[in-house]
Amino acid sequence: MTEQISGFVPHDHHHCITSALDTAADQCRERGVQFTPVRKRVLEILLEAHTAMGAYDVLARLDAEGLGSKPPVAYRALSFLVEQGFAHRIEKLNAFVACSHPAATHSPAFMICRSCNTVAEADMPETFGAPAEQAGFTIEKTVIEAEGICQNCKDSE
């Protein structure tokens, strides 16, 4: 199975959840940061959804489970996950999605299907190189998001 670009293809979802959680736990141990119950559960929620979720959607789940009911609880956990690279923020959607390759640091690019709302993560090195150099601009973070329609949705039109 090519895992270059997951998201639009079926896959063993139970496995991809537990494996991502394990990876996150490992990395937290290595980095000396805490993978607390709230943080873990939020990552798990994003992984289960397997698509981008708004902070308040995540919060609703937490609330239903008694893990927190106020916005800062969700926002803090999500910020942590984003900082650690376990999740990404999709600016275009004001939403968050679990990372598809949490092992390495990377600057991700996303393809967002406007029909089924699937968000697929691709790895896109070097995007900005030339114009940035030309302008003497030093890049620290990039946001790369494409909106369109995925193969599945195109086929079923």
Pick what 18 binds: Zn ion, a second copy, DNA, none; C-beta below 5 to 8 Å, kind-dependent: none
Alpha-carbon distance 44 to 13, whole Å? 12
Alpha-carbon distance 85 to 112, whole Å? 19
Pick what 55 binds: a second copy, Zn ion, DNA, none; C-beta below 5 to 8 Å, kind-dependent: DNA
**13 interacts with a second copy by CB under 8 A:** no
Alpha-carbon distance 83 to 77, whole Å? 10
Contacting residue, 5, 27, 54, 144, with DNA by CB under 7 A: 54
Q: Which one of the spans 16-24, 61-69, 97-105, 121-129 is the region binding DNA (CB under 7 A)?
A: 61-69
- List the one residue out of 138, 121, 117 whose CA is nearest residue 129: 138
**135 interacts with a second copy by CB under 8 A:** yes
Please enumerate in sequence order all residues whose Cβ is within 8 A of that of 37, keeping only pairs 6 or more positions apart, or say none: 67
Contacting residue, 16, 60, 67, 122, with DNA by CB under 7 A: 67
Alpha-carbon distance 42 to 19, whole Å? 15
Pick what 142 binds: Zn ion, a second copy, DNA, none; C-beta below 5 to 8 Å, kind-dependent: a second copy
Contacting residue, 11, 12, 56, 128, with a second copy by CB under 8 A: 128
